[in-house]
Amino acid sequence: MTLAVLASRALSGMHAHAVRVETHLGPGLPSFNVVGLADTEVRESRERVRAAILNSGFDFPPGRITVNLSPADIPKESGRFDLPIALGLLLASGQLSAPVAGQGEGQPRGPDPSLVDLVFAGELSLTGALVPVAAPLVIALSVARDAPGATLILPAGSAEEAAWVPDLRVLSARSLADVAAHAAGSHHLADAVPKAWPQAPPGPCLSDVRGQAGARRALEVAAAGGHSLLMVGPPGAGKSMLASRLPGLLPPLDRSQALEAAAVSALAGLPQTLMGQPPFRAPHHSASVAALVGGGSRPRPGEISLAHNGVLFLDELPEYSRRTLEALREPLEAGRVVIARALHAAQFPARFQLIAAMNPCPCGWRGHPVRACVCKPDQIARYVGKISGPLLDRIDLHVALPPSDPESMAGPPGEASGHVLERVTRCRQRQHDRQGKLNAALSGAELDQHCVMQADAQALLFQAMRRLSGSGRALHRALRVARTIADLEGADALAASHVAQAVQYRRPGL
């Protein structure tokens, strides 16, 4: 009776939990059982492993085989456990020279030092070749965080993506025979060479937007402080055009942020597009709650997680279902979303900038100087009422866009995105030097510490909040916006002009 123990990983949201793959080979009628809360894909590995071992030139061991995936309370899915199961069978049956089998009858020996720090993940084809696994970046990030000094063995293709993670050694393998030779010490796998780091293509420039000086200023404030923004205006005012240019006003993502964004995309099954520019997601207004927030029987990230460290643009905001919009409230505050299921809960990051756009009424022409609005008051009330007060409270900037002016459209181009980006970068650096985070993420206690106001500014803020019947949350958001406006001007204390501008960005005509 012999036993082999190897390490692998099980995905749960944005974390890959450590799993011990314990392979036991004992006497009895031939059988092959996989236990430890394994789903259908994992149980099917018995047939893949059997064929892969035989086609790799090894003997499939007779007897009673039991594979335990520990801990048993974590769900196991996909075929990534094929490789450690097959290798464990070869070790337990004595077909490899690495001393992982038992010392004596029923007494397991300590694992070989060359295998202790190895983590295996890979699906096997019937020929013994290794098939790339899903979400290798998530596995690599978890191994680097939880097990410093460990070495990750992945199929070629997956290994090149995982090699992007710094301070982690990743070995690339093409077949079970290659991994078995490495475990036996007769052959050494090569270190994975990371793929070329893709560069972000140039995005649309803010200079394309003619006129709309007030909206351009609000977009700069939103970019500088990481604030959410709601634009209200008639059709053709430039709402979508402005929103699509926000990523060009944001500093490039650093390596860790870009890796995290790419890992979320991999979990969602999207093509790998790793680049420094913040992601920009614009789901259609027919998107369901699960599509926007995430979900499914096997939880997957939604649009808010795909927009992590970037921008989520919701055009035609009232056309989304109210239930879908209300699901945004908690992620906007917490910066993450937890998808709870009966057996486990998956957590995904969701720290994004919300940019929303809407018309002032169903027809879009309410308040237009030339076009007449044909909407009845009850239609307008129902349209605007789809957006709840609590959700509006969580949006920092509310901006009313006037109709497009033909003279402005024919005028010279506006300021280019590069010039605005320089100011935004300086402002963000000032925030990080002072408090280690953007102003939009400041807590109540931190606002008291970093938002020192002049006497007239404080009086103006309290008076405005009483007049607008603002909540405590609205007061804090106005303070955060005022702090960003002051940072753009390089001021330490909040002046009345900073507070006045921040108060203007509240619920225009809603």
Global pTM value: 0.87
Find all residues with CB under 8 Å of 149, minimum gap 6, and list them.
117
* Top-confidence residue, 90 or 114: 90
Q: What is the pLDDT of residue 18?
A: 94
Residue with tokens 């000094």: 149
Span 135-144, pLDDT tens digits: 899 999 999 9
**Confidence tier at 116 by pLDDT (50, 70, 90):** confident
Please give the structure tokens belonging to residue 281.
């997601």
Q: If you average pLDDT over residues 150-165, what whole number do you get?
A: 93
pLDDT for the residue numbered 198: 67
What is the residue type of 499? V
The backbone region for 364, taken as left when phi is positive above 0, alpha when psi lies in -120 to 50, beta otherwise, is left
CA distances from 446 to 132, 224, 442 (A): 46, 18, 6
For 12-34, how does the pLDDT look when each residue is reduced to its tens digit (9 = 90+)? 888 999 999 999 999 888 999 99
pLDDT per position as a tens digit, 335-353 = 999 988 766 788 899 999 9
For 294-395, where are the alpha helices, taking DSSP H only? 303-306, 322-326, 329-334, 377-385, 389-393
Over residues 27-46, the mean pLDDT reads: 90
3-state helix, strand, coil in the chain (%, to 5): 40, 20, 40
pLDDT recorded at residue 136: 93
pLDDT at 250 over 70: yes
Residue 356 pLDDT: 96
Out of 122-126, 222-226, 252-256, 284-288, which region has the weakest mean confidence (pLDDT)?
A: 252-256
Question: How would DSSP label each residue in 157-196?
Answer: THHHHHTTSTT-EEEEESBHHHHHHHHHTSS-PEEPPPPP
Specify the pLDDT at position 99.
42
The full 3-state SS of 319-338, as one line of letters, equals HCCHHHHHCCHHHHHHCEEE
Residue 409: pLDDT band by 50, 70, 90 thresholds?
Answer: low
Lowest mean pLDDT among 60-74, 97-111, 382-396: 97-111
> Of residues 123 and 195, which shows the higher confidence score?
123
Q: Decide if pLDDT at 134 tops 50.
A: yes
Confidence of residue 474 (pLDDT cuts 50, 70, 90): confident
Comparing 96-100, 457-461, 475-479, the range with the smallest average pLDDT is 96-100
| Measured distance CA(245)–CA(239) in Å, rounded | 10
Nearest to 294 by CA among 312, 278, 277: 312
Q: What are the tens digits of pLDDT across the range 251-272?
A: 999 888 988 988 998 888 887 6
